[in-house]
């Protein structure tokens, strides 16, 4: 039996997070920042990568609802989900918040996945397996993992039994259901005054059969202060590379400077600033690390205030912008291309100066010089050019 209609997800972010409040300055756990985004948004982006999911309902505390409507719109503007979404108020208990979310699902929705925003590590592949089971006609699907600890039942501080752990499972979210069934379960629960800790329990109490699929050990719930360490453990850094290129022609203008080092006897260059072709290529490469445009955008040659300005200032400004974007630069590889002058006597001075400006060990800066075998405008001694490659690392935005 295959399902018809749309799949939606309800993301629960309406809890108070009292057990974590003291450890995070009173911030509710669903709003904790991780990889530049609040926890609830990481779950949203995971759902957005699943083609079968057509929309999301975010459930927030009533006191935060106006602020969070704006926040979700802001997040979607900068990192679009590509999905329809709604923002609704939660209730006093978890099950009340779920019921509020279910009430806002559209008529086209046939199945719903209910997820706790405090589980930001749930994978797209696990969610897809839940959908697969629902497609087969399951009344409810819950991801679960085997219990590895021995479990005891107790009365006060006295052990009353030891269940066979081979029959025990620790369940997770998201949990998936046909919408008409889970709505009916919540209506009955509301009328009968049931108190449950997950949605599958309601279907069990109705006599419906709920199946489990394989959960994930990594799909932990952020609940206690020690769980915050899990967020740190999963930080992942990714490399980024910027490439820069610049050219200046020879002629009456500025004395030659390369990498901040004067080159006595070198041809003069025509330029608006001090004409340091190597620093210009380096600055463009640094800007390229984070999509920051080029130096013409930030330092246009039409600005009279920049006349004869030191190109070192341009590099420092680019470095400042990279730092603001969370980039850590680890290496620079620079090449000057010119028939004249001979740069071998100045190579180590340039390397030392560039490393100092960039705050890097000299071992992480490489400076080369080459000719183009008397070909082209550099070979004809009409000008000089430089290329630069800069490597950095930055915190990954989201899980891949």
Q: CATH fold of 6-233, please?
A: Spore Coat Polysaccharide Biosynthesis Protein SpsA; Chain A (3.90.550)
Cα angle: 259, vertex 263, 268; to 5 degrees: 100
Sequence-ordered list of residues with C-beta below 8 angstroms from that of 55, at least 6 positions apart, any chain? 6, 8, 9, 83, 84, 85, 86, 106, 109
Q: Could you identify the residue written with the tokens 């949990």?
A: 175
Write the class of the CATH domain 237-395: alpha beta
Q: For the chain, how many helices (H) and strands (E)?
A: 13, 19
CA distance 229 to 142: 26
Give the pLDDT confidence score for residue 59 in this predicted structure: 97
Give the pLDDT confidence score for residue 397 in this predicted structure: 56
Give the pLDDT confidence score for residue 399 in this predicted structure: 40
Output the CA torsion 357→359→365→370 (10° steps): -10
- Contact at 8 Å (CB) between 390 and 365? no
- Contact at 8 Å (CB) between 310 and 291? no
User: Which residue, 254, 251, 249, 248, is CA-closest to 308?
Assistant: 254
The model's pTM: 0.59
- Contact at 8 Å (CB) between 119 and 34? no
- Judge whether 6-233 and 237-395 match in fold: no
Give the pLDDT confidence score for residue 400 in this predicted structure: 37
Q: What are the residue boundaries of the structural domains of the chain, listed by start?
A: 6-233, 237-395
φ, ψ for residue 52, nearest 5 deg: -70, -20
Q: Could you identify the residue written with the tokens 């599958």?
A: 200
Q: Tens-digit pLDDT profile for the chain (400 aa)?
A: 445 689 999 999 987 654 444 444 455 778 777 777 888 999 999 999 898 999 999 999 999 999 999 999 999 988 789 999 999 999 999 999 999 999 999 999 999 999 999 998 899 989 999 999 999 999 999 999 999 899 999 999 999 999 999 999 999 999 999 999 999 999 999 999 999 989 999 999 999 999 999 999 989 888 766 666 666 655 567 899 999 999 999 999 889 999 999 999 999 999 878 889 999 999 999 999 999 998 888 877 777 676 767 888 889 999 989 988 889 999 999 999 999 999 999 999 999 999 998 988 899 999 999 999 999 999 999 999 999 999 999 876 544 3
Give the pLDDT confidence score for residue 346 in this predicted structure: 94
**3-class secondary structure, 236:** coil
Give the pLDDT confidence score for residue 24 in this predicted structure: 47
């Amino acid at each position: 039996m295959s399902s018809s209609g749309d799949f939606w997800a309800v993301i629960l972010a309406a809890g108070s997070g009292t057990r974590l409040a003291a450890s995070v300055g009173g911030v509710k756990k669903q709003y904790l920042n991780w990889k530049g985004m609040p926890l609830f948004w990481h779950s949203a982006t995971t759902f957005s990568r699943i083609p079968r999911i057509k929309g999301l309902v975010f459930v927030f505390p009533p006191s935060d609802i106006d602020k969070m409507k704006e926040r979700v719109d802001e997040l979607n503007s900068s990192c679009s989900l590509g999905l329809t979404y709604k923002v609704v108020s939660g209730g006093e208990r978890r099950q009340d918040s779920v019921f509020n979310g279910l009430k806002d699902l559209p008529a086209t929705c046939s199945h719903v996945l209910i997820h706790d925003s405090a589980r930001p590590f749930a994978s797209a592949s696990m969610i897809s397996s839940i959908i697969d089971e629902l497609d087969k006609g399951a009344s409810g699907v819950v991801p679960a993992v085997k219990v590895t600890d021995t479990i005891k039942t107790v009365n006060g501080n006295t052990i009353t039994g030891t269940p066979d752990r081979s029959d025990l499972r620790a369940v997770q979210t998201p949990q998936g259901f046909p919408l008409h069934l889970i709505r009916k379960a919540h209506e009955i629960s509301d009328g009968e005054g049931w108190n449950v800790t997950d949605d599958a329990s309601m279907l069990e109490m109705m006599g419906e059969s709920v199946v489990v699929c394989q959960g994930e050990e990594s799909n932990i719930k952020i609940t206690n202060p020690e769980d915050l360490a899990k967020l740190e453990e999963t930080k992942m850094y990714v490399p980024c590379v910027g490439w820069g290129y610049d050219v200046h022609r020879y002629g009456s203008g500025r004395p030659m400077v390369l990498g901040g080092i004067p080159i006595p006897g070198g041809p003069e260059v025509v330029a608006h600033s001090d004409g340091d072709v190597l620093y210009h290529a380096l600055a463009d490469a640094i800007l390229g690390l984070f999509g920051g445009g080029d130096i013409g955008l930030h330092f246009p040659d039409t600005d009279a205030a920049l006349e004869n300005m030191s190109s070192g200032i341009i590099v420092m400004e680019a470095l400042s912008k990279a730092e603001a974007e969370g980039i850590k630069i680890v290496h620079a590889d620079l090449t000057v291309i010119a028939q004249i002058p001979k740069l071998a006597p100045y190579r180590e001075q340039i390397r030392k100066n560039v490393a100092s400006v960039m705050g890097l060990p000299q071992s992480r800066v490489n400076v080369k010089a080459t000719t183009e075998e008397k070909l082209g405008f550099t070979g004809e001694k009409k000008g000089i050019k430089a290329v630069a490659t800069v490597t950095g690392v930055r915190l990954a935005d989201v899980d891949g």
